[in-house]
Amino acid sequence: MHRALCELLVAGVLLGSGQAAAAPPTTYRQEVVVAGSPFQGVHGLVVDGKGHLLASNLLGQSVHSVDLKSGAVSTLVGPPLGGADDVTLGPDGSVYWTGYFSGRLMRRTPQGKTRVIADDLPGLNSLAFRGDGRLYVTQLGRADALWEVDPRGNKKPKQILANPGFLNGFEFGPDDRLYGPLLLKRQVVRLDVDSGKIDVVADGFAMPTAVNFDARREHLYVVDAATGELVRVRVATGAKEVVARLPTGLDNLALGPDDKVYVSNMVDNDIRVVDPADGSVRTLVAARLTVPAGLAVAPDDADEQLYVADVYALRRVGGRDGKIHQTTRVLSTPMVFPMQVSLGARHVVLSSAYLGSLQVLDRATGQILRTIANTNGVQGALELADGTLLVAEASTGRLVRVDTSEPPKTTVLTEGLKGPVGLVADTEAAEPRVYVTEVRSGRVTRVRLADGARRTVAKGLRAPEGIARLPDGGLVVAEVGRKRLVRIDPTSGRSAVIAGGLPIGMPESEGLPPGYVPTGVAVGRSGTIYVSSDIESALYRFVPVP
């Protein structure tokens, strides 16, 4: 866990030469709101036979090793090479993992040499070895296919099957057939990779995501992400039995040497162990948040309840006590991987560059009222007084308005921005405006809502992302490229550092929009500044000291 100074002084530390501080020096006390986790969403699992579990961490761009007894987590491959959706071991002990966003299949030899053995396979997802050493991988989401890949990377991949129906976490059986779930068909199937013939083993699942054989190879254990069930299927008959009920969001599983079932949960960011003999469950690696990104807090909320876009869930967290009061989860609901969040009088607005969508929720009930597709790298999104949404498109460099009609009509407010990410509005000004951070140009830009006219407020920043307004009208920005929090005077552009050395700003991953997992910033009515940490999956606050 990152250990910052308990008190951070702003005493005229400047961003640009010749600039004065944006405000009188202020003392802030840095505190932890929610402690961190080793993962940013845990996915594929495999037992290494040496007392450890290998776990893949897609958004954290890492492959980890977990001690089966203690739950201690260490990093085997760090960012940016380790962006893994699934992981397995080869016959020679090499570790293989799939890069969902990069489209690359990676191999790390027992000697520690890492290389790309296949690329240009967007949506690369699951992988497994057949008994004879042949390696197979699937594409899912960004494509839908099964491939055979040379484990040493000397030959080009060969497509085995197109459009099987989103084949996810699979394993080969004693008959050399591939067994795995088809997400789109809600089935577990048996596939002959030589002939392409598919037989249904069991069906009637809600969202089966992975299977593994038991020690006798007579049963398959299946995890269902939508129901949270661990199901045992008798291969010969297809008979199903629920072994344990866990929280929704299950992603993968592995069988340990003690016949226990290790299950990953991408929503809760944890790994649990199920004893199939009695269905008992214990936690091996725990977490409270998954990938905290965008933050919002109502300006009139004395309790400073934070809305956290936690990528795999929308969570409400007590800004003062760190308690998680409410969770709306992906997979088991229509929520689509929230990365940014803002609050209106009656609505919560979410945006997701992950699956390219905007969502409007009823603030009182959490009901999803609208889902609007947008594949332009949507980042910050605000609801204006008339119900119109103002949206930053990081990939196109535009700010657009989305009206309330169905289907919605989109108009461009301004364009030519360099990776717009964070938005904060000042609608009480004589000329209502919005401030936007540009992660590529290092600017904070003011855009007039009436006509889209814009003016540079501050420049020379390095990868600014989250932005919020202080009670006195000043701006606070997460400058992730320098791992610090800065205050900017919106009139003069004068800037000062509030805190440095923060655990923010994971390396960018190839093929993702600018500011992909944004660092969120929010300010409560007390003047307390809240910041999300993508590196630690934690939340911090900076409390003004009188």
CATH of the domain at 504: 2.120.10.30
Q: Where are the beta strands (DSSP E) in 292-356?
A: 295-297, 305-309, 313-318, 324-329, 340-343, 347-352
Candidates 52, 43, 44; CA nearest to 128 is 44
Residue 80 located in a structural domain:
yes
- Using pLDDT thresholds of 50, 70 and 90, give the confidence band for residue 16: very low
Q: Is the domain of 185 the same as that of 316?
A: no
- Using pLDDT thresholds of 50, 70 and 90, give the confidence band for residue 6: very low
**Count of structural domains within the chain:** 2
DSSP 8-state symbol, 480: G
Residue 94 has pLDDT above 80, yes or no: yes
Q: What is the pLDDT of residue 430?
A: 87
3-state helix/strand/coil string of 178-241: EEEEECCCCEEEEECCCCCCEEEEECCCCCEEEEEECCCCCEEEEEECCCCEEEEEECCCCCEE
Please list the alpha-helical segments (H only) found in 102-178: none
Q: Is the domain of 410 the same as that of 359?
A: yes
List, in order, residues 6 or more apart from 321 with CB less than 8 Å away. none
Residue 349 located in a structural domain:
yes
Q: How many C-beta neighbours within 10 Å does residue 410 have?
A: 16
pLDDT tens digit sequence for 460-501? 999 999 999 999 999 999 999 999 999 999 999 999 999 999
Q: Is the domain of 136 the same as that of 225?
A: yes
Tokens linked to 319: 């800004």
Q: What is the pLDDT of residue 325?
A: 87
Q: Is the domain of 270 the same as that of 321?
A: no
From 285, 307, 322, give the residue that closes a domain: 285
DSSP 8-state symbol, 275: E
* Share of residues in the chain with pLDDT > 90 (%): 87
For 213, phi and psi rounded to 5 degrees? Answer: -80, 150
Q: Is the domain of 213 the same as that of 348?
A: no
Q: Is the domain of 319 the same as that of 192?
A: no
- Using pLDDT thresholds of 50, 70 and 90, give the confidence band for residue 25: low
From 259, 285, 311, give the residue that closes a domain: 285
Contact in structure between 498 and 480 (CB atoms under 8 Å): no
Strand partners, 172: 178
Residue 420 located in a structural domain:
yes
Exposed/middle/buried for 197, CB within 10 Å: 0-12, 13-18, 19+?
Answer: exposed
Q: Which residue has the higher pLDDT, 24 or 322?
A: 322
- Using pLDDT thresholds of 50, 70 and 90, give the confidence band for residue 506: confident
Residue 355 has pLDDT above 90, yes or no: no
For 214, phi and psi rounded to 5 degrees? Answer: -80, 180
- The mean per-residue pLDDT over the stretch 308-337 comes to 94
Residue 160 located in a structural domain:
yes
Lowest mean pLDDT across 326-335, 387-396, 469-478: 326-335
Domain that holds residue 423: 7-36+289-544
Residue 1 located in a structural domain:
no
Residue 295 located in a structural domain:
yes
Give me the numbers of helices (H) and strands (E) for the chain, helices first please.
0, 49
Q: Is the domain of 404 the same as that of 392?
A: yes
Q: What is the pLDDT of residue 259?
A: 87
Q: Are strands 529-533 and 521-523 parallel, antiparallel or unpaired?
A: antiparallel
Q: Is the domain of 476 the same as that of 513?
A: yes
Report the chain's C-alpha Rg in angstroms.
24
pLDDT tens digit sequence for 34-90? 999 999 999 999 999 999 999 999 999 999 999 999 999 999 999 888 888 999 999
Tokens linked to 57: 């961490």
Q: What is the pLDDT of residue 177?
A: 97
Long-range pairs of 524-527 with CB within 8 A, sequence gap ≥ 24: 524/297, 524/301, 524/304, 524/319, 525/299, 525/300, 525/301, 525/302, 525/304, 525/471, 526/304, 527/470, 527/471
Contact in structure between 412 and 399 (CB atoms under 8 Å): yes
Q: What is the pLDDT of residue 129?
A: 98
Q: What is the pLDDT of residue 327?
A: 86
Residue 79 located in a structural domain:
yes
Q: How far is it, in rounded angstroms, from Cα 323 to Cα 303?
A: 12
Q: Is the domain of 226 the same as that of 358?
A: no
pLDDT tens digit sequence for 230-255? 999 999 999 999 999 999 999 999 99
Tokens linked to 32: 């932890």
Q: What is the pLDDT of residue 277?
A: 94
Exposed/middle/buried for 366, CB within 10 Å: 0-12, 13-18, 19+?
Answer: middle
String of DSSP letters for 344-395 = -SSEEEEEETTTTEEEEEETTT--EEEEEE--S-EEEEEE-TTS-EEEEETT
Q: Where are the beta strands (DSSP E) in 451-494?
A: 454-458, 464-469, 475-479, 484-488
Q: Is the domain of 278 the same as that of 312?
A: no
Residue 124 one-letter amino acid? L
Q: Is the domain of 236 the same as that of 102?
A: yes
List, in order, residues 6 or more apart from 262 with CB less than 8 Å away. 45, 47, 53, 68, 253, 254, 255, 256, 271, 272, 273, 284
From 229, 260, 285, give the residue that closes a domain: 285
Residue 2 located in a structural domain:
no
pLDDT tens digit sequence for 424-456? 999 888 899 999 999 999 999 999 999 999 999
Residue 520 has pLDDT above 80, yes or no: yes
Q: What is the pLDDT of residue 451?
A: 96
Q: Is the domain of 184 the same as that of 304?
A: no
Residue 18 has pLDDT above 60, yes or no: no
* Share of residues in the chain with pLDDT > 70 (%): 95
φ/ψ region of 537 (left if φ > 0, alpha if ψ in -120 to 50, else beta) reads left
Q: What is the pLDDT of residue 119?
A: 94
Q: Within a 13 Å sphere around the CA of 521, how many CA atoms are in the beta-carbon half?
A: 30
For 225, phi and psi rounded to 5 degrees? Answer: -65, -35
DSSP 8-state symbol, 307: E
Residue 365 has pLDDT above 80, yes or no: yes
- Using pLDDT thresholds of 50, 70 and 90, give the confidence band for residue 14: very low
